[in-house]
Amino acid sequence: MTTPAILLLDLPPTTLCGIDLLSFTTSPRFRGIKDLPPGFHFVFTGATPSLSIRHGFWFHIPAHSHPAPLLVRKWDARREELVPETDDAALLRWRANLGALWKEGLAPYRQSAAPAAGGQGAGDGHGGERELGEEVRDWGGLTSHVTPALLSRITGGSDDAHWTLTSASCAKQDRDEIPGLSGEESVLVEEKELGFLKVDLTRTWREGAVGRERTEGAMDRSWALEEVWKRILGLVFTCKRAVVEKEGWFAGVVALLRTQLKRCEDVEGGLFEFSDEGGTLLKRLLKAFKRTLDEVFENADDGMKVKEEVEELEAFVKAEYGWNLSDSYVRRGMLELEDGERVEMEMNELEGEDERGEYAPVIVELD
């Protein structure tokens, strides 16, 4: 009995290929991937494992379909990317000959380099099955809000034959502006413009708002969240009123962030920049969001759904990155040097993260 599969034909040897969170270098016998679970998937290729533009496409596997879906893509040597097979006779021929490729030409779907169930080191198979099940759940959680309409809006395509993009694709507002060159001149190859929603965090109040309403809009971005739903963490984790009104949605966002952090290293180049600046930004947002939960939920039993998700996320980042999201930190203390001398030190770099007491923002009433 066959399962959903995708054929990736005529790939040159040692081509970089990836599906969802796993990337690998192809072998001469590689012809595609089988045992695809239901849901949305993303396949990408690169002419070389090092410096080359990655070409990718999204596709969808229905939960129940007979016969099992078979997608066929073939390598275009001139464009150095996979293109759909449009010849109906060729599609029928590949489906008829699928059995010859099934055992050795198609790799089973998985999301890590560890052996899958039944492979070497899998033992009785139950450990590998559990691991594969967890990987499938993680990818399903990461793509739980992906829909055909969303992909069509972002990529500009109408179906899975046109949900394509490259590593050079970007949103218009994210393009690098080169002084002296027009937008067209600064792009060597015409790339697809991605249709992401634009978020202007410099104006998070409604049109025409003045006085107190405008000030509250700057301090509490719930209004902006309602206008640009499902957006960046910097917007989500600075909301207050909306946390109470949409607690379940915020709990889902926190759970999704935990899964992203858990799997971020599986993606080539990572999903997040954990340099000093990037790590500090995320840590500051999470610490502020914890304080927000204490403020907006006066009773300890309120908001348990989102609080429990935050506790799990806090435990993860502490174990993985050594982050402490508590409000307590040392401002001033004695430091003993190698020669035994003791000097008094004062830490000022965390004051920007502390918005309590004398550092708390205030609303000033103007006459």
Looking at residue 235, its pLDDT comes to 81
For residue 127 the two structure tokens come to 């450990």
Q: Where are the domains of the chain?
A: 5-165, 198-367
Q: Pairing mode, if any, of strands 70-76 and 22-25?
A: unpaired
337, 268 Cβ separation under 8 angstroms: no
For residue 69 the two structure tokens come to 């879906």
Looking at residue 8, its pLDDT comes to 95
Looking at residue 281, its pLDDT comes to 75
Looking at residue 1, its pLDDT comes to 56
Q: Cβ contacts of residue 165 below 8 Å, gap of 6+?
A: 56, 57, 155, 192, 194
| Grouped pLDDT means (10 residues each) for the chain, 367 residues | 88 90 89 93 86 86 88 91 91 91 90 52 48 74 89 82 76 48 46 69 76 77 50 81 93 91 70 60 87 88 92 92 74 75 69 53 66
Quick one: fold of 5-165? Substrate Binding Domain Of DNAk; Chain A, domain 1 (2.60.34)
Looking at residue 118, its pLDDT comes to 37
